[in-house]
Amino acid sequence: MFIEAAERASFAAAAEALNVTQAAVSKQMAGLETKLGTVLFERAHRSVTVTAAGRSYLPIAKRVVALLEAGLEEASALPSRRTLRIEIDYEFFDLVVAPRLARLQQEIPRTDFTFIPSVPGRHAPLSDFAITFGHPRAGTASVARLCSFMVFPVVSPLLIEGVSDPFRTLPLLHDFDTYWWDTFLRAQGVVRADQGVVMGNGALAIRAAIAGQGIAIGDDILCADALRGGGLVRMGETKLPGRHDYWFSENPNMIGDAVGQQLRTWLETEITAAMGVQ
């Protein structure tokens, strides 16, 4: 009321703007002056004039109102903020989702994400959504295939400079499963007596390959960024389909939730863009 009355130099105009009576404005201004212990308005028969004290108080009043409005906006937004729990394949999170977290937060604003890495043979508590390697476990619903991929050896281009037969001489990096290295070495006609460097998962092997520590088994999803950026190159001509696909699934309680479709569409878009530029 004070701001309106001061800016309009009229209790009547302030009352009309605020849809209250002129008497209500007059009463409130008298009460404000009593509380502040100073005169804010010089009153005439049909108008009021803001005093020097009133002019000094006006910017303070505006700042107070602005703070109150901002606080109300923040408080109103709090109930609309959500937390989503997403069970996710560790390698997929490390090499695909983590580098794109800022874009995900822009795509799905006012949302806090809790990512729970999948552990082979042991499932996390049922989450809102799951991004899994291989068909998801029982209890999920609305299951959809995210993508398939092709597998091939990868290496840092710096490591193979001047190396004539890298498959026979460079360290082999792999996870606990020897299937892929057995397959690719057979395709190259190479026999190795050493097992190479065994790591806990494929993402660690790929990161070691980027660091120039050897040749790893990669694919056109997990290695998309490194292949595009030149941190890795493919080795050899052989590439084979992955033994499993990546899947997206929802907790039954999340069926029909719009954010699930947003998340799935965002993932599909990012995967297509990443694989399409190799």
On whether both 155 and 105 belong to a single domain, the answer is no
Strand partners, 117: 88
Tell me, yes or no, whether 44 and 115 share the same domain.
Answer: no
| Cross-strand bridge partners of residue 83 | 112
pLDDT at site 120: 62
Residues 85, 144 share a domain: yes
- Say whether both 98 and 212 belong to one domain: no
> Residues 232, 154: one domain?
yes
pLDDT attached to residue 193: 84
Do 112 and 49 belong to one domain?
no
User: Are residue 264 and residue 131 in the same domain, yes or no?
Assistant: yes
Tens digits of pLDDT across the chain (278 residues): 999 999 999 999 999 999 999 999 999 999 999 999 999 999 987 789 999 999 999 999 999 999 988 888 777 665 577 889 999 999 999 999 999 999 999 999 889 999 998 866 666 667 899 999 987 766 677 788 999 999 999 999 999 998 989 999 999 998 888 899 999 999 989 998 887 888 888 999 999 999 999 999 999 999 999 999 999 999 988 999 999 999 998 888 888 888 888 999 999 999 999 887 54
- Residues 154 and 237 reside in one and the same domain: yes
Question: Helix %, strand %, coil % for the chain, to 5?
Answer: 45, 20, 35
With contact defined as beta carbons under 8 Å apart, do 100 and 267 qualify? no
b/e sequence 51-67, b meaning 16+ C-beta within 10 Å: beebeebbeebeeeeee
Nearest partner of 214 among 164, 174, 176, judged by Cα: 174
CATH, residue 219: 3.40.190.10
Neighbouring-strand partners of residue 86: 115, 129
Kindly state whether residues 228 and 119 are assigned to the same domain.
no
Please report the pLDDT score of residue 248 as a whole number: 92
* CB contact at 8 A, 218 and 173: no
**Does one domain contain both 142 and 249?**
yes
Half-sphere exposure (Cβ direction) of 140: Cα atoms closer than 13 Å: 22
Q: What is the pLDDT of residues 116-159, one digit of tens each?
A: 988 666 666 678 999 999 877 666 777 889 999 999 999 999 99
How many structural domains is the chain composed of?
A: 3
Q: Quick one: which of 126, 139, 129 has its CA closest to 254?
A: 129
CATH number at residue 13: 1.10.10.10
Among candidate residues 27, 55, 78, the one where a domain is terminated: 78
pLDDT of residue 204: 94
Q: At which of 19, 49, 78 does a domain end?
A: 78
- Assess contact for 131 and 92: CB atoms under 8 A: yes
The domain in which residue 204 lies consists of 150-241
* Alpha helices (H) along the chain: 2-8, 11-18, 22-36, 52-77, 90-92, 101-107, 166-169, 179-188, 202-210, 224-229, 258-276
Residues 115 and 222 in one domain: no
Same domain? 70 vs 202: no
